[in-house]
Amino acid sequence: MTNYDYTFKIMMLGDASVGKTSLTIRYIKGFFMEDLKLTIGVDFYSKTTEFNEKNVKLQIWDFD
């Protein structure tokens, strides 16, 4: 099991069809996806990274 120095919960909020999911997937996967389905309710993404020699876990909640 991996230990994290920090865990952050990030909420992506905003009007419909403005690019919240596109921005999230771009950060998580490193590329833009052309055809995305409309988010119904909420989608959840997770990414681990290192910042200032600390292990950081990001929990990203993408709301419609």
Residue type, 41: G
Q: Provide the domain count of the chain.
A: 1
- pLDDT score, position 41: 86
**Quick check: is 41 in a domain?**
yes
Domain boundaries, position 51: 6-63
- pLDDT score, position 34: 78
**Quick check: is 59 in a domain?**
yes
Measured CA to CA, the distance from residue 60 to residue 11 in angstroms comes to 6
pTM over 0.75? The answer is yes
**Quick check: is 50 in a domain?**
yes
Give tens-digit pLDDT for 28-47.
998 988 778 888 889 999 99
| pLDDT tops 70 at residue 13 | yes
**How remote is the C-alpha of 39 from its chain's centroid?**
13
Measured CA to CA, the distance from residue 7 to residue 4 in angstroms comes to 7
Name which of 44, 25, 42, 47 is nearest 34 in CA terms.
25
| pLDDT tops 90 at residue 2 | no
**Quick check: is 40 in a domain?**
yes
**Quick check: is 1 in a domain?**
no
